[in-house]
Amino acid sequence: MPFGTLSTTSPTYTTESASKQASTTSLQSERAVAKLQIGVSQNAFQLKHDGRKYADINITNYKLVNMNKQYYLFQHKAYLPDFNETPSFVLPDNFSDYQEEDDEYVVDPLFYKNTPNTIDAAFFNKYYKSWFGTFNTSDFASMPSADNHGYAYILENTSYKTSQKNGYSPGIVFKAAVNPVFVYLYDAQQRTLKEENRPEYWPKTIYLYNYNFYGSIQTVNIASGLTLDELETYTDAQLKPYGIKQCKFNMGAYETYYTYWIHHRSHPTDPMGTMEYGIVRNNFYKMLVTGNNGVGNSVITPAVMRDNYPNSYVDVVVK
């Protein structure tokens, strides 16, 4: 929903001149921001497999990543065949030639630097707030309860088609609490696994394998037949080939994280079409988390998302 051009009229100021006439000043300005509204359809999402619930997921917090710090007030358009060519002119004066074919798209000044060829933490930390390449888990906002919405006014961030989902587009990192129905623990006396539904007896790290939670790598090995080192501390990436996910206890909850790249529009034929992912000024994005279909990561590890569909495990409707 484009906002369009905003026409503003300043307040009327009365002077003490002899004519006693009021003066009015009219200003034509272009909005430099987009509005993002976000909420959840329900406070807890059930995780089920074959009709059996194995956990609840409660999205508690969110953080916006890759948000531009600088804004601009001029209309910047470029000749971009398939968004694959860089114009020969130099920022900030690179307007397109109106005699050429023009895609009529307003592009932010950082557009040409948001590419995988510019992996420069110093640059992006300067121009981005919470760049995904050096992400940290501080300063999360609280997720509003169901039927309520939070909102923010944010600056535009657009990028090349090939860069949209590679850690340069704007996104949201959700933090959620994982509440298992039970966790399998090892009973040394009986030499078997037992279901424990009392959270106070669960260890600080639990592991999800084949839709069941386990209290240690040892119990995972027993249940799966794997032979992982039971004394090793694993990363999410190391556990992924075995189909294992881990959740770590922090601040009263087992935490998991999901990254969602903000969807600007859906291309009718190309799932990675021009401007598929990004934030474009003068737009109103209403985002509602409607579902969850898995456990996310135990920590946020900034990494390039090279597949076409990284927005897995969390379902978001964008209007």
**Are 73 and 38 found together in one domain?**
yes
**In Å, what is the CA distance from 101 to each residue of 97, 98, 105?**
8, 7, 12
| Per-residue model confidence (pLDDT) at position 118 | 54
Per-residue pLDDT band at 11 (split at 50, 70, 90): very low
Q: Does pLDDT of 193 surpass 60?
A: yes
Residue 197 is encoded by which pair of tokens?
């539904």
Same domain for 175 and 301, yes or no, is: yes
Q: Which of 225, 247, 269 is the last residue of a domain?
A: 247
Q: What is the pLDDT of residue 166?
A: 67
CA 21 to chain centre: 53
- 243 with 255, same domain: the answer is no
Query: Both 39 and 163 in a single domain?
Result: yes
Domain of 227 in residue numbering reads as 181-247
Residues 188 and 165 in one domain: no
Judge if 80 and 138 occupy the same domain.
Answer: yes
Q: Is residue 241 part of a domain?
A: yes
Q: What is the pLDDT of residue 238?
A: 95
Name the most confidently modeled range: 84-98, 186-200, 265-279. Answer: 186-200
152 lies in the same domain as 47? yes
Domain boundary among 220, 247, 274: 247
Residue 20: both structure tokens together: 């006693």
Structure confidence at residue 59 (pLDDT): 95
Task: Answer whether residue 83 is part of any domain.
Answer: yes
φ/ψ of 120, rounded to 5, equals: -135, 100
pTM: 0.79
For 68-113, how does the pLDDT look when each residue is reduced to its tens digit (9 = 90+)? 887 665 555 555 555 555 554 444 444 444 344 444 455 666 776 7
For residue 87, the tally of other CB atoms under 10 A from its CB is 14
Same domain membership, residue 109 and residue 163: yes
Is residue 1 in a domain?
Answer: no
Q: Other C-beta atoms within 10 Å of 158: how many?
A: 26
Same domain (yes/no): 92, 140: yes
pLDDT, average across residues 142-162:
85
- Most confident segment among 93-102, 121-130, 137-146, 245-254: 245-254
- Please indicate, yes or no, whether residues 160 and 204 belong to a single structural domain of this protein: no
- 261 and 234 in a common domain: no
Instruction: Note the pLDDT of residue 109.
Output: 64
Two tokens at 178? 């994982």
Q: What angle do CA 304, 136, 303 make, to 5 degrees?
A: 10
Domains in the chain, number: 2
At 100 the pLDDT is: 40
Give dist(CA 57, CA 311) in Å, integer. 17
Length reported for the chain: 319
